[in-house]
Amino acid sequence: MTGQETAQAGAASWEELVTTALLGTDRRGIGRAAVRGRKDAATALLDEAALHTVRRRAGLRPGSAAPRPERAQDDPRPALPAAARRRLALLLSDRPGTGSSGRRGSTPDLTELLPQWLAAANDHGYAAPAELLPALLDAARGRTDLRPPALAFAGPRALWLARLNPEWKFALRTTPGGSALPSPEDSEAVGRLWEEGLFAERVALLGAVRAHDPGAARALVESTWSTERAEDRLMFLDSLRTGLADGDEAFLERALSDRSRNVRTTAAELLSALPGSALAGRMARRAATCVALDALRTGITVEAPHECDPGMERDGVVASPPPGRGQRAWWLGQLVEAAPLATWPQRLGGRSPAEIVALPVADDWQGELHAAWCRAAVRQQDAEWSRALLGAASSPGAAGPGAVSLAERAKLLGTLPEQERAEWVAGFIAAHGLSEAFQLLGVCAVPWAEPLGGAVVDALNIARDAGSYPWSFSGVMGLAERCLDPAAASRLEALTATPDETEDGAPGAGGYWAEAFQRLVGTLRLRAVMREELAGAV
């Protein structure tokens, strides 16, 4: 019997012994351990239980001897400064507490600062301390948002440890920079890993090669395309979003005939993001037959498609609409979304995007048409169209002249430069307050640039003076702790005192606000200290 078989037999016997002890030896025997020369079944049961107890307490199941693992790859990056190393140990040891009252108190939440600390450490190019790697991998195992920065910081030793501990196997699916991947320039090693590697290793390799040489990455995918599983083809195709260029068109056109519908749809989406592609031209011609100026040339008329022909389906149009959507509206949206935005000024009288968005649309088609233009602007990363669809930050309601929801506005904002994004959201907060702005704040760069930081602080102060409880603003307050510039701490100091209660204010609200601002100030100051520690200034 091998060591593994012995372990499995031991485990099975233990379960058998427990069952026999519960039922009694008179009602159930103990199988192969029953007699063995013994006359008393109860004594035999106790003897076997003692034997298995010792085996279980040994901590390891019997197994065949195996060679020692190879030494971990060296990490050439510089070591953390001592103060930063102590800070990381503190961040990794912190666990969020929950009091019986549900109040967070004024103490900073260290777990929420860990992603920011890791991002800053990676910017400095530090290596992770070896003794903290297990705790770092444990933290990343429980939080998927931590995995990319944590694995980048952990470096090659994360992979070495992940191969020894199955609880850290996620690291093998997300290989960061500085890992054991071959150099993208080593074509022989790249080819060997692509042919022989695990799926996760191949995905990581493809990403590394794509960043270095997009054409070489595409060639890798093409070399084994016909033998890959459909789900793998989809993942490899999706990796071409990075560095997507006209050179990818021929391969993507061939993928339009793939036997997997998901692969065909993704290929069509990528081709529509290339305004000069043949597919984009075909979609532009189809969309142009559906959208035109009215007889007076002062508005837009829409004639949605009456059928979804095979050519449309091959180019990525999904024939069956989701529940609640009409077929013609569904087909129209897909055509307009995939057409190059340059189609419309030429089609609609030479107007600018802002002038086009301002035109009235007949027969209640405006929502469908503008929503499709929003998706096209995001897909094609067109800032001019995004500005037109966003409209002024102070426009009435949550939606602008083109965007029909806050979610769409958030996506459109992502196409704008960081400073312009911050200014637009600051104007939105000034006009509409914080309750509508949470989704929009999430797409702004960190730390928040002015005037955005000031607008958030002013809006929180207004909410505090109104006497309401701060709980409805807890999401924004949490974002402020992570995203405000630490220099704002001095400005917030005056808000940490408990204000006098007003007659129409909620009882005790001032105390809650004081705690919230104390925590915010403390967190900002802690972030400033962390920054100094990583710079070696402390």
259-309 residue pLDDT tens: 999 999 999 999 999 999 999 999 999 999 999 999 999 999 999 999 999
Residue 99 is assigned to a structural domain of this protein: no
Same domain, 362 and 310: yes
Residue 107 is assigned to a structural domain of this protein: no
Same domain, 446 and 410: no
Last residue of a domain, one of 223, 250, 272: 272
Q: CA-to-CA distance for 443 and 452, rounded, in angstroms?
A: 12
Same domain, 308 and 374: yes
Contact indicator for 113, 96 with CB cutoff of 8 Å: no
Q: For residue 406, what pLDDT is reported? A: 85
Q: Name 361's bridge partners.
A: 300
509-529 pLDDT, tens per residue? 778 888 888 999 999 999 999
Q: For residue 135, what pLDDT is reported? A: 94
Tokens representing 39 are 């006359």
Q: CA-to-CA distance for 420 and 441, rounded, in angstroms?
A: 13
Percent of the chain whose predicted confidence (pLDDT) is above 70 = 87
The more confidently predicted of residues 221 and 477 is: 221
Residue 114 is assigned to a structural domain of this protein: no
The dihedrals phi and psi of 127, each to the nearest 5 degrees, come to -95, 150
Q: For residue 179, what pLDDT is reported? A: 46
Q: For residue 33, what pLDDT is reported? A: 44
Same domain, 206 and 299: no
Residue 377 is assigned to a structural domain of this protein: yes
**Chain position carrying tokens 């529509």:** 272
42-74 pLDDT, tens per residue? 788 788 888 878 777 776 666 677 788 788 888
Same domain, 401 and 499: no
Residue 113 is assigned to a structural domain of this protein: no
Same domain, 405 and 475: no
User: For all residues of the chain together, what is the average pLDDT?
Assistant: 85
Mean pLDDT over 6-26 rounds to: 64
Q: CA-to-CA distance for 365 and 356, rounded, in angstroms?
A: 14
Residue 523 is assigned to a structural domain of this protein: yes
Mean pLDDT over 395-414 rounds to: 76
The dihedrals phi and psi of 399, each to the nearest 5 degrees, come to -100, 150
5 has a pLDDT exceeding 60 = no
pLDDT band at 11 (very low <50, low <70, confident <90, very high): very low
Q: For residue 228, what pLDDT is reported? A: 94
pLDDT band at 231 (very low <50, low <70, confident <90, very high): very high
10 has a pLDDT exceeding 50 = no
362 has a pLDDT exceeding 50 = yes
> Residue 396 region, left (φ>0) first, then alpha (ψ -120 to 50), else beta?
beta
Q: CA-to-CA distance for 531 and 517, rounded, in angstroms?
A: 21
Instruction: Compute the C-alpha angle 10/14/16, nearest 5°.
Output: 115
73-91 pLDDT, tens per residue? 888 999 999 999 999 999 9
Taking the model in full, what pTM does it have? 0.74
> Shortest CA distance to 120 belongs to which of 512, 486, 421?
486
31 has a pLDDT exceeding 60 = no
Residue 140 is assigned to a structural domain of this protein: no
Same domain, 283 and 408: yes
Q: Name 300's bridge partners.
A: 293, 361
Percent of the chain whose predicted confidence (pLDDT) is above 90 = 54
Same domain, 436 and 526: yes
Same domain, 395 and 486: no
For residue 206, the enclosing domain spans 187-272
Q: CA-to-CA distance for 414 and 381, rounded, in angstroms?
A: 8
Q: For residue 433, what pLDDT is reported? A: 86
Residue 89 is assigned to a structural domain of this protein: no
Q: For residue 46, what pLDDT is reported? A: 83
pLDDT band at 180 (very low <50, low <70, confident <90, very high): low
Mean pLDDT over 367-386 rounds to: 95
475 has a pLDDT exceeding 50 = yes
Contact indicator for 202, 190 with CB cutoff of 8 Å: no
| Residues composing the chain | 538
Same domain, 410 and 296: yes
Tokens representing 134 are 């297990």
Question: Read out DSSP for 144-213?
Answer: GGGHHHHHHHHTHHHHHHHTT-GGGTHHHHS--TTSSPPPTT-HHHHHHHHHHS-HHHHHHHHHHHHHH-
Q: How far apart are the first and last CA of the chain?
A: 60
Mean pLDDT over 171-194 rounds to: 74
Tally of structural domains, the chain: 4
Last residue of a domain, one of 382, 416, 450: 416
* H-state helical runs in 32-103: 41-57, 82-93
pLDDT band at 18 (very low <50, low <70, confident <90, very high): confident
Same domain, 366 and 317: yes
Last residue of a domain, one of 386, 416, 446: 416
Same domain, 346 and 422: no
97-112 pLDDT, tens per residue? 433 344 556 677 777 8
